[in-house]
Structure 1
Amino acid sequence: MWGQSVRRGPGRIWVGTAAVALATATFVAYDVGGAPDPPRAAAFAEPVRNATVVIEEGGARTGFSTPTVTMSGGGAVTVVNLDSMDHTVTSVAKGADGLPLFDVRVAAGTTATVPGVDSLAAGEFAFYCKFHPGMRGVLTVTGAGGGVEPERPTFDQPLVVPPTERGADIRLVMKRARVRTLPEGRRTSMWTFDGTYPGPTIRRRGGQGTRVTVVNHLPKGAGSTSTHLHGDHHAAKDDGQPTTQLVRRGDSRTYDYPLTVDGRATPGSFFWYHDHRMDRTARNNWRGLQGMFIVTDPPMPGVRLPSGSRDVPLMISERSFTSGNQLTDPFADGPEMVHGAGHDEMSWSGDLAPPNDATVGDTVLVNGRAAPYLDVSATRYRLRLLNSSPFSSYNLTLSDGRPILQIGTGSGLLPRAVVRSSILLGPAQRADVIVDFSGATGKRIVLESVPAAIGSTGDDARQTAVMELRVGARASDPSRLPSRLPSPGLVSPVPTEVAKTWTFGLDDGGDHGSAWTINGDPFDPTRVDHRARLGAVERWRFRNTSDVTHYVHIHAEQWRTLLRDGKAPPPWERGLEDTWRLEPGEVVEVAARFTDYTGPFMIHCHMLDHEDHGMMSRFDVVP
């Protein structure tokens, strides 16, 4: 489970999050025709020099047809892809150079030889498909083998918490700067807010109006930008519209955040700000235009949460780097936009068109640094967890099995604290948690991401070490573990009738390109797909008809989760939310009251390539 570290190879990092546990299915050998060979008696078994990994039609749902394969040392592995979709065979483990021990992308209807397996040492090597991480397998190398073995990650640089801004008027300058991401070598050139990645962390009390002026001093060719404060409730003109009210190079724009909801102060929350420019959202976030925004808790008599240096925001993301420590450009050979040609709406064509369009990095970053460590005392800490990755999900847990107490989402505290062993966060999701390090003096505990069992929620989570927590001596600790919490109220009563159903799917137009869609249509900024009346309470339904998970984000309001597949949501989804995991075939229902502001707002998938390639819709709040 220590397979992820720094990749320094150039080029596109193909779709998917890194999946991870050893498969348990039985190996079936295939001949050229795909039929299984008859079993042989063990006494007459011949050494298996080479191995074949087979992917049948529908592999994204059913997995590898040969989830366990065996070869002798120095042998070869061939992948036969009989599916209509591209797949990869990628080693979970990394080598001393930070690269996967083996990695190959296999186009639909083709075969490929896996490079690097001939030098593997004897042992078992888990592999997965980066397009569809629920596909997992194990390669067993027998005999002498080579000398290449997995390397454990090291944690060589301290965690850095971004500088904090607390004023009512804040100025953020977007500019190119060199920042320390990797522990050795050159600093990395990134697009930043105020010269840091992440940008400054803004901390403000609810009800304290905040004006943030964003200045665009990015390099020539960066184009216009749009900054969205994710999770906040504000006017449409301050929402970071994807195609209008943009900040051109050399210009600035002031965003007004009253930090109120329906006349009341915004409750303690964990928001974040990021670029939201249509067609460029994935690129601009990849290059660094992200930062955190904390609405601090109001006085809460009887509730004593960790504070000060023990209240730590953690932005978890990922990037890939060249040998010179610079960001790779996975967008240079991106899909081409297609108009017309018998297709009424925009779509995309090329190797990276939907559904093969996701940006995944090999190196996990926390607050912009690869594999950092944090010195902590043997006391309680409040960790604010944010997944700002463009595509990957993380199922976060602690290496010593220590429990995690979730006290909130990104949108506020939960009604009751929930004891959890792991927390699954997809792109844009947040969790407010407490970890008690009492009794762990001298230990080094790893915050890591592990997958769930195959076929269950979270089986597509990336497997990786995230950061190390180095526990020191005991210290005075006035905090307490809470049970009940002053959670913000949920909208009630809720209509029984669904006002709007949003169906997330894929339009495969064949020769005319493809697009991610909502209700069958890719995004059109001039088209209004729903109108909600100001003051009304509406019940919305999400449906996923595609073969991949999506993360649905709604602008404008804070929402209550009503049902997940017809059942009450789990305890950690019973507070306010703005982003939901939506697995293939899943149905989720939510509700909110539309208050304060009219105008256009967005609903979209927060897998950023999906958003850029059509999976966004506009709804208007009207008088």
Structure 2
Amino acid sequence: MVIRGAGRLTAAAVGVAVTVATAVGLVLTPSSAKVEPAMVADPGPPEVTISIALGGATHGYVNPDVALAQGGTLTIANGDGVLHTVTSDALGTSGDPLFGFSVPARTTRSFALPSLAGGAYGFYCVFHPGMRGTLTVIGGPVGEVPAPPSFDQALRIPKVLSGDHITIPMKKADVRIMADGPKTTMWTYGGSYPGPTIERRAGQQTKVTFVHKLPKDAGSMTVHHHGGHQSSADDGQPTKHLIEKGAKRTYTYALRDAGKPAPAAFNFYHDHRMHVTARNNWRGLQGMFLITDPKEKKLGLPTGKYDVPLHFSDRSFTASNQLSDPFGHAAHSGHGGMPGWMTGEHAPPNDATVGQRILVNGQYAPYLTVKPGLYRLRLLNASLFSAYDFALSDGSAFTQVGTGSGLLPAPVTRQDVLLGPAQRADVVVDFRGKAGQDVLLSTIPRSDSTGTGSRNAALMQFRVRGTTSQKARVPGKLRPLAPLKGVPGKVSKTWTFDLSEMHSGGQHGSFWSINGKMFKASRMDHKVRMNSVEKWKLRNTSDMTHYVHLHQEQWHTLSRDGDEPPPWEQGLEDTWRLDPGEEVVVAARFTDFPGVFMLHCHMLDHEDHGMMAQFEIVR
């Protein structure tokens, strides 16, 4: 299921390909999947309207508590300037939300309510979780009711490749995603989803050859090592240095920075082709990239089987477990010389691709059997749009020891960890004393702001069994962050992320912009002198959260909204959350490689639809 306009999903529509907006598939913990009985004689109103006014993300639904007769008609009047949803907290036996509707900005749509048992059903907006309400269905006990989740397949750990010259074919393959039914045909790296994990020691030059064996209609490809420090030609340029059908290309990763081994990091690699980045990632072109440092062993953090990489993504499927195609509408030619994606109901800001099922290492609702010890979990949000606020069902906290870009100076205790697209976190979970218990890793609706929300789902199950003599620990100090010398007092460049409009030939279009401009490959947006240090300001003046990714360098976070960044942002970073109105100031030294590099929103529809710029490092 893909949120791109208006639509509906009922529990009977499991896996049906949906290319318009539908409910986000939510999997709840058993304790949260409750509906209060409502047994009354009054048949209830046959129609009801839920209204959303301007500023709904901040002020919520105008009338959050409504009642409706079984099988009645629900109308949603969205007077706001952004897409909103009315999505059920609870799921049915199929694993889909009991109801879910989305309506584009300044639009009113009506929907037939699916057959639900009488009761009170909590709902919320997928993108703005502070918007909450209750729909009371008036009627008898006959109809769809909430159901607890099940976890039916053991978690897969992707194959590890660790040679100094690795070859990975890009090819179609059938992948086991769902526990039952047919396998899913995907575009893959090496025949699996996610692709094999590349694991290399910091400072060891690594060559990776990608061979294009995908169908002809896939077009040319490019591969970006996200979080890496490499030459411009090896960075995965969106319009240059492409891999044509039947051809191959070798990327060289030095895994060094300024003559020294790069920090240990948890990165990933993925397609970065202009205008189809979202499509190509949706179809499966993603894999993890782990850079290790033997010095870390002295810290005593969990290693080996106690160190688990976890790749999170969301996808929608047909009844035969095949990927839905949410991108078909983008092919039309548009009007007035505009690309098709700039006009119509799917144009920005209504261009969010959200999958119905949340996958872990390419599987829906897996489980992992663990020992009662300390586990290091590498969390990667590889979704196109969705954010996840990770939490444990038993109330235990995470001990965050690093970002994707390396270890933090000191561990940070966090009750939940919010990660947007492309963000990573390195956390330790303590299963000691929990033998025989089952613990769920879930994502919960974020409640810390009115920014774009996070999903609500149980993601996977940890089954704590057996015994262990493990001696791992989390030390009080991890890796000191060397101060960045020579940071200028003034901001060198401000990058403003917003929604912009275009008028041409009597037509109106919209696009995501940086500094008011749509990405153009022939335009250079900023030039930086080699070996200089610059301070950049990232500003979000739109009504939607953006997750901003800066390529190439080791970025330090200097401030968030004028204050010292929170402790989990005081290490190196490459992707930042920018809620509406927020400003983050970052700095880096530009070393080693002259050439052109990117910065963009990592909500991939936003990147494809204009929110990308480029800077050039010059000698």
| TM-score, normalised with respect to structure 2 | 0.91
Question: What does residue 60 of structure 2 align with?
Answer: 63
> Alpha carbons of 1:115 and 1:572: their partners in 2 closer, same or farther (altered >3 Å)?
same
Rounded to whole Å, the distance in 2 between the matches of 1:288 and 1:12 is 18
- SS of the aligned residue for 2:295 comes to coil
Residue deviations 1:174-208, cap 9 Å, x none? Answer: 00000000000000000001101111001111001
Q: Do 2:402 and 2:571's aligned partners in 1 also have CA atoms closer than 8 Å?
A: yes
> Alpha carbons of 1:359 and 1:99: their partners in 2 closer, same or farther (altered >3 Å)?
same
> Alpha carbons of 1:438 and 1:6: their partners in 2 closer, same or farther (altered >3 Å)?
farther
Question: What does residue 21 of structure 2 align with?
Answer: 14
Matches within 5 A, 1:297-312: 297-300=293-296, 302-312=298-308
Per-residue deviation, 1:132: 4.6
> What amino acid does structure 2 have at the position aligned with 1:536?
S
> What amino acid does structure 2 have at the position aligned with 1:8?
G
Question: What does residue 516 of structure 1 align with?
Answer: 512
Question: What does residue 438 of structure 1 align with?
Answer: 432
The alignment status of 1:178 with 2:194, answered yes or no, reads no
Per-residue deviation, 1:465: 0.7
Question: What does residue 103 of structure 1 align with?
Answer: 100
> Alpha carbons of 1:98 and 1:53: their partners in 2 closer, same or farther (altered >3 Å)?
same
The alignment status of 1:491 with 2:484, answered yes or no, reads yes
Identify the match of residue 362 of structure 1 among 334, 337, 356.
Answer: 356
Rounded to whole Å, the distance in 1 between the matches of 2:209 and 2:352 is 31
Q: Do 2:126 and 2:453's aligned partners in 1 also have CA atoms closer than 8 Å?
A: no
Per-residue deviation, 1:581: 0.2
Matches within 5 A, 1:117-128: 117=114, 119-128=115-124
Rounded to whole Å, the distance in 2 between the matches of 1:355 and 1:399 is 34
Identify the match of residue 352 of structure 1 among 346, 355, 363.
Answer: 346
Identify the match of residue 198 of structure 1 among 194, 197, 216.
Answer: 194
Rounded to whole Å, the distance in 1 between the matches of 2:550 and 2:12 is 33
The alignment status of 1:594 with 2:590, answered yes or no, reads yes
> Alpha carbons of 1:94 and 1:192: their partners in 2 closer, same or farther (altered >3 Å)?
same
Matches within 5 A, 1:231-310: 231-300=227-296, 302-310=298-306
Rounded to whole Å, the distance in 2 between the matches of 1:276 and 1:417 is 33
Per-residue deviation, 1:17: 7.0
Question: What does residue 37 of structure 1 align with?
Answer: none
Question: What does residue 546 of structure 1 align with?
Answer: 542
Matches within 5 A, 1:107-146: 107-117=104-114, 119-130=115-126, 132-146=128-142
Q: Greater CA deviation, 483-492 or 534-543?
A: 483-492
> Alpha carbons of 1:276 and 1:617: their partners in 2 closer, same or farther (altered >3 Å)?
same
The alignment status of 1:90 with 2:87, answered yes or no, reads yes
Question: What does residue 25 of structure 1 align with?
Answer: none
Per-residue deviation, 1:231: 0.1
Rounded to whole Å, the distance in 2 between the matches of 1:114 and 1:150 is 20
> Alpha carbons of 1:15 and 1:120: their partners in 2 closer, same or farther (altered >3 Å)?
closer
> What amino acid does structure 1 have at the position aligned with 2:102?
R
Identify the match of residue 390 of structure 1 among 365, 384, 393.
Answer: 384
Same amino acid, percent of matched pairs: 52
Unmatched tracts of structure 2, length 5 or more: 1-9, 29-41
Question: What does residue 482 of structure 1 align with?
Answer: 475
Rounded to whole Å, the distance in 2 between the matches of 1:463 and 1:478 is 35
> Alpha carbons of 1:212 and 1:226: their partners in 2 closer, same or farther (altered >3 Å)?
same
Q: Do 2:502 and 2:510's aligned partners in 1 also have CA atoms closer than 8 Å?
A: yes
Matches within 5 A, 1:15-94: 50-94=47-91
Matches within 5 A, 1:143-158: 143-158=139-154
Q: Do 1:194 and 1:200's aligned partners in 2 also have CA atoms closer than 8 Å?
A: yes
| TM-score, normalised with respect to structure 1 | 0.91
> Alpha carbons of 1:15 and 1:522: their partners in 2 closer, same or farther (altered >3 Å)?
farther
Q: Do 2:126 and 2:454's aligned partners in 1 also have CA atoms closer than 8 Å?
A: no
Rounded to whole Å, the distance in 2 between the matches of 1:465 and 1:5 is 21
Per-residue deviation, 1:514: 1.1
> Alpha carbons of 1:111 and 1:349: their partners in 2 closer, same or farther (altered >3 Å)?
closer
Residue deviations 1:118-140, cap 9 Å, x none? Answer: x2223221223345554332212
Q: Greater CA deviation, 86-95 or 446-455?
A: 86-95
Per-residue deviation, 1:220: 1.8
Residue deviations 1:212-267, cap 9 Å, x none? Answer: 00000001200000000000101101000000000001000000001001011011
Per-residue deviation, 1:88: 3.0
> What amino acid does structure 2 have at the position aligned with 1:14?
A
Per-residue deviation, 1:312: 0.5
The alignment covers a number of residue pairs equal to 594
> Alpha carbons of 1:321 and 1:109: their partners in 2 closer, same or farther (altered >3 Å)?
same
Rounded to whole Å, the distance in 2 between the matches of 1:509 and 1:150 is 45
> Alpha carbons of 1:288 and 1:54: their partners in 2 closer, same or farther (altered >3 Å)?
same
Per-residue deviation, 1:110: 4.6
Rounded to whole Å, the distance in 2 between the matches of 1:262 and 1:109 is 51
Question: What does residue 421 of structure 1 align with?
Answer: 415
> Alpha carbons of 1:17 and 1:232: their partners in 2 closer, same or farther (altered >3 Å)?
farther
- SS of the aligned residue for 1:221 comes to helix
- SS of the aligned residue for 1:513 comes to strand
Rounded to whole Å, the distance in 2 between the matches of 1:15 and 1:131 is 13
Q: Do 2:83 and 2:349's aligned partners in 1 also have CA atoms closer than 8 Å?
A: no
> Alpha carbons of 1:144 and 1:17: their partners in 2 closer, same or farther (altered >3 Å)?
closer
Residue deviations 1:367-425, cap 9 Å, x none? Answer: 00000000000011110000000000000010001111000000000000001110000
Q: Do 1:90 and 1:102's aligned partners in 2 also have CA atoms closer than 8 Å?
A: yes
> What amino acid does structure 2 have at the position aligned with 1:350?
G
Per-residue deviation, 1:146: 3.2
Residue deviations 1:459-478, cap 9 Å, x none? Answer: 71110111000001220112
Rounded to whole Å, the distance in 2 between the matches of 1:601 and 1:250 is 27
> What amino acid does structure 2 have at the position aligned with 1:59?
G
Per-residue deviation, 1:513: 1.4
Deviant stretches of 4+, over 6 Å? 3-6, 15-21
Question: What does residue 34 of structure 2 align with?
Answer: none
Rounded to whole Å, the distance in 1 between the matches of 2:485 and 2:22 is 40
Question: What does residue 622 of structure 1 align with?
Answer: 618
- SS of the aligned residue for 1:611 comes to helix
Q: Greater CA deviation, 194-203 or 139-148?
A: 139-148
Unmatched tracts of structure 1, length 5 or more: 22-44
Q: Greater CA deviation, 510-519 or 165-174?
A: 510-519
> Alpha carbons of 1:471 and 1:185: their partners in 2 closer, same or farther (altered >3 Å)?
same
> Alpha carbons of 1:140 and 1:552: their partners in 2 closer, same or farther (altered >3 Å)?
same
Q: Do 1:185 and 1:325's aligned partners in 2 also have CA atoms closer than 8 Å?
A: yes
Q: Do 2:27 and 2:91's aligned partners in 1 also have CA atoms closer than 8 Å?
A: no
Question: What does residue 395 of structure 2 align with?
Answer: 401
Q: Do 2:22 and 2:100's aligned partners in 1 also have CA atoms closer than 8 Å?
A: no
> Alpha carbons of 1:456 and 1:419: their partners in 2 closer, same or farther (altered >3 Å)?
farther
Q: Greater CA deviation, 476-485 or 165-174?
A: 476-485
Per-residue deviation, 1:487: 4.0
Residue deviations 1:556-588, cap 9 Å, x none? Answer: 101000010000000000000000000111011
Q: Do 2:44 and 2:69's aligned partners in 1 also have CA atoms closer than 8 Å?
A: yes
Q: Do 2:151 and 2:461's aligned partners in 1 also have CA atoms closer than 8 Å?
A: yes
Question: What does residue 35 of structure 1 align with?
Answer: none
> What amino acid does structure 2 have at the position aligned with 1:157?
Q
Matches within 5 A, 1:326-341: 326-334=322-330, 336=332
Per-residue deviation, 1:327: 0.1
Question: What does residue 448 of structure 1 align with?
Answer: 442
> Alpha carbons of 1:566 and 1:329: their partners in 2 closer, same or farther (altered >3 Å)?
same
Q: CA RMSD in A?
A: 2.5
Rounded to whole Å, the distance in 1 between the matches of 2:11 and 2:233 is 41
> Alpha carbons of 1:6 and 1:574: their partners in 2 closer, same or farther (altered >3 Å)?
farther
> What amino acid does structure 2 have at the position aligned with 1:471?
V
Q: Do 1:552 and 1:580's aligned partners in 2 also have CA atoms closer than 8 Å?
A: yes
- SS of the aligned residue for 2:281 comes to helix
